[in-house]
Structure 1
Amino acid sequence: MKDKIVTFGEIMLRLSPENNARFTQCNAFEAVYGGGEANTAVSLANFDVDANYVTKLPKHIIGQAAINSLRQYGVGVDHIVRGGDQIGIYFLEKKTSQRPTNVIYNRAGSAFALATADDFNWDEIFDGATWFHFSGITPAISDEMTNICITACQKAKEKGMTVSCDLNYRSKLWSSEKACEAMSRICQYVDVCIANEDDAIGIFSMNPADANGEEKNAYIAKELMKKFPFKMVASVWRTETSITTFKLQSMIYTEGKAYYSKEFFMHILDYIGAGDAYCAGLIYSLINNFDPQKAVEFSNAASCLKHTVSGDYNLVTVDEVMKLAFSDAGNEVQR
């Protein structure tokens, strides 16, 4: 039986000044749609996985355009709820040289932010599903959404599904204290956790300096697995090696052992969605029974390729990821 994946979160309209301009210079915005779990669903659909996305969007044409952006890549949209007046928006000023990325959210009062538990029938949504994925951004949106996520996780576990969560701490959405309280409740239901150093510090106040010489990502994974019943913790990190180049590497920790990917050195076109691409690579690896080393290499390569694709969505195929992950021919001209 083919695995059916369900992802849950808010898809937003992303507005970025053209040509890496600052907000104060901007005369025109580039508009694309995206959001953590939507990005993961698109990646999985491009991997020929039965990927289904759940959210709430207004009935107007902008809401429909967001749905169309998912449907065109084969994402299942049958359980998207329609209602409310607004779609969430975020303004993105892209990182350029030493100037960091700047994100401004305009999502308060969106259809998804005002969604209630009655909007989502999880028995119907999870019919035939094998995997549920969401991120820590979703429960951060409201107290109601925190409870909706918990209900969804409980229902997924009742149905024997695997639950994965990308912790994805966002300090602009909630405080460390509130994040810790909510995510501590949610993580009791999670099988596969994706978390980096910033998540561990921001949500659970972990101190990588306590690792005592142990590689910090493995240390964080072990500490998280002491707190929660995770079967696996995965992490991906990007290190700046010069003003224009970055190094990407990732790790999977499972059954008491850490597995590390090879490193990729890269120039970045657009890194938004790279973590979501990693999540998709990891889910694809696990539903296809890749061993941990193969899984970490595939997931890391999927994330690497996202850095070369403009917009939130990772528009690459399994073959392209495989070639980058497991051969040295990734940069050759494809004829």
Structure 2
Amino acid sequence: MNTKIVNFGEILLRLSKPGYQRLTQGHRMLGNYGGSEANTAISLAYLGNNVEYVSRLPYGAMGDAALMHLREYGLNVSHVVRGGERLGTYYFEEAVAMRNSHVIYDRKNSAMYSLKRGMVEWDKVLGDAAVFHCSGITCAISRDSMESTMDALQLAEAKGLTIVCDINYRKNLWGYGMQPHDVIYNMMQYSDIVFGDQNEWEVASGVKHIPFNALDAGYVINREAYQEYFRKMHVLFPKCKKMVMALRNQLASSHHTLTGLLYDAVHDCLYTTKIYDIQPIVDPMGVGDAFVAGYIHAHQKWAADNQYCLDFALSASALKNTIPGDQNLVTEEEIISNLTSSGGRIQR
């Protein structure tokens, strides 16, 4: 039985100033690797999955270094395309107290930006795969990147793969003339599993989201309202069997509440889980990617247990808030332990 999970997207160099400095301050910058799809792929590999990451990277030291980072976590990068001008980057100003975080993308004319249709040998990549994971970000980078994504989706559907779509709406990336709603809506028509936060589901569907105003872990979810919401989503996206929504309320830069929902469209059943009251937040980047990776991993192992898949995915996402950098470097054992413990104890 095929077990390979294919992730398609752009790995980025993340640059930020140390010690909560603004981007306009200081003289030193710290570098990490990020990028939503790469974050998901690395988390999945760290959990022990068979993962192939597909992207395009430039020749030279920067592309080589990014490949070394991916290989360090055990990813198969045999179909990464080489070429293009440069590695994509983003600049991240960390949030602190009442000051929000700030992201500046620098991805135009990157190697992935100029990826052309036909450069990726999709038939070889997907021939022995079980799951294909893609993201709205890859569709936002450029028209070429979007068309490559659609080619992969069509072939993955034809081969009977499980298709996982992360809506991943980033308004500052869309600049080549296509409307985000139209492209993401089309992408989701191929998808068996769709993930997004409440605002991203609104962008994809055009249906206004239900506010999540949890101030602590005692907040009560309006199950009836969400079930009716997802029934509307199933009419719009009939192929989708599992719909996953992350709910986060940012009370302060270092204090968030976080939970998730799972709708089984086949059985018209909504699943809810606990609310994590997380304080302090160490690094919120990649929290959604950790949720997606946790869910894909759980779905591959315990697909029949919807409640456990949701609980596991949320636990993985909550733990990411405690880890600096973009990637969720936690094990299955740690995620399961976090489901039933309050945390903070010494593991001997």
TM-score class, shorter-chain normalisation, is over 0.9
Partner residue, 2:311: 297
Conserved 8 A contact 1:177-1:203: no
Residues 25-77 of structure 1, C-alpha deviation per residue, up to 9 Å, x if partnerless?
A: 13111101111111011001111100110000001111111111111011111
Question: Aligned pair 1:261/2:264, yes or no?
Answer: no
Question: Which residue, 313, 325, 329 being the options, matches 1:311?
Answer: 325
Shift of 1:241: 4.0
Shift of 1:150: 1.1
Letter paired with 2:248: R
Conserved 8 A contact 1:197-1:220: no
Question: CA RMSD for the aligned pairs?
Answer: 1.8
CA distance in 2, matches of 1:216, 1:271: 28
Letter paired with 2:179: K
User: Does 181-190 or 29-38 show the bigger shift?
Assistant: 181-190
Question: Aligned pair 1:230/2:231, yes or no?
Answer: no
CA distance in 1, matches of 2:115, 2:296: 27
TM-score using structure 1 length? 0.94
SS in 2 for 1:23: coil
Partner residue, 1:167: 167
Distance 1:43 1:259, change over 3 A: same
Conserved 8 A contact 2:85-2:110: yes
Shift of 1:184: 2.0
Partner residue, 1:8: 8
SS in 1 for 2:189: helix
User: Does 56-65 or 170-179 show the bigger shift?
Assistant: 170-179
Question: Aligned pair 1:207/2:208, yes or no?
Answer: yes
Residues 106-155 of structure 1, C-alpha deviation per residue, up to 9 Å, x if partnerless?
A: 10000100010121111111121000001110001112222211110111
CA distance in 2, matches of 1:158, 1:44: 24
Letter paired with 2:330: V
Partner residue, 1:32: 32
Distance 1:85 1:318, change over 3 A: same
Question: Aligned pair 1:43/2:43, yes or no?
Answer: yes
Structure 1 spans left out of the alignment, 5+ residues = none
Conserved 8 A contact 1:164-1:192: yes
Residues 158-184 of structure 1, C-alpha deviation per residue, up to 9 Å, x if partnerless?
A: 111000011011110127970111122
Shift of 1:242: 5.1
Letter paired with 1:321: I
CA distance in 2, matches of 1:86, 1:223: 42
Superposition pairs for residues 48-197 of structure 1, below 5 Å? 48-174=48-174, 178-197=179-198
Shift of 1:311: 0.7
Question: Aligned pair 1:277/2:287, yes or no?
Answer: no
Residues 276-322 of structure 1, C-alpha deviation per residue, up to 9 Å, x if partnerless?
A: 11101110111112411101100000001111111111111000001
CA distance in 1, matches of 2:62, 2:298: 34
Letter paired with 1:294: Y
CA distance in 2, matches of 1:194, 1:5: 16
Conserved 8 A contact 2:210-2:226: no
Alignment size in residue pairs = 332
CA distance in 2, matches of 1:82, 1:322: 38
Partner residue, 1:249: 259
Conserved 8 A contact 2:118-2:148: no
Distance 1:110 1:219, change over 3 A: farther
CA distance in 2, matches of 1:143, 1:224: 26
Letter paired with 2:300: I
Distance 1:177 1:207, change over 3 A: farther
TM-score using structure 2 length? 0.91
CA distance in 1, matches of 2:270, 2:54: 33
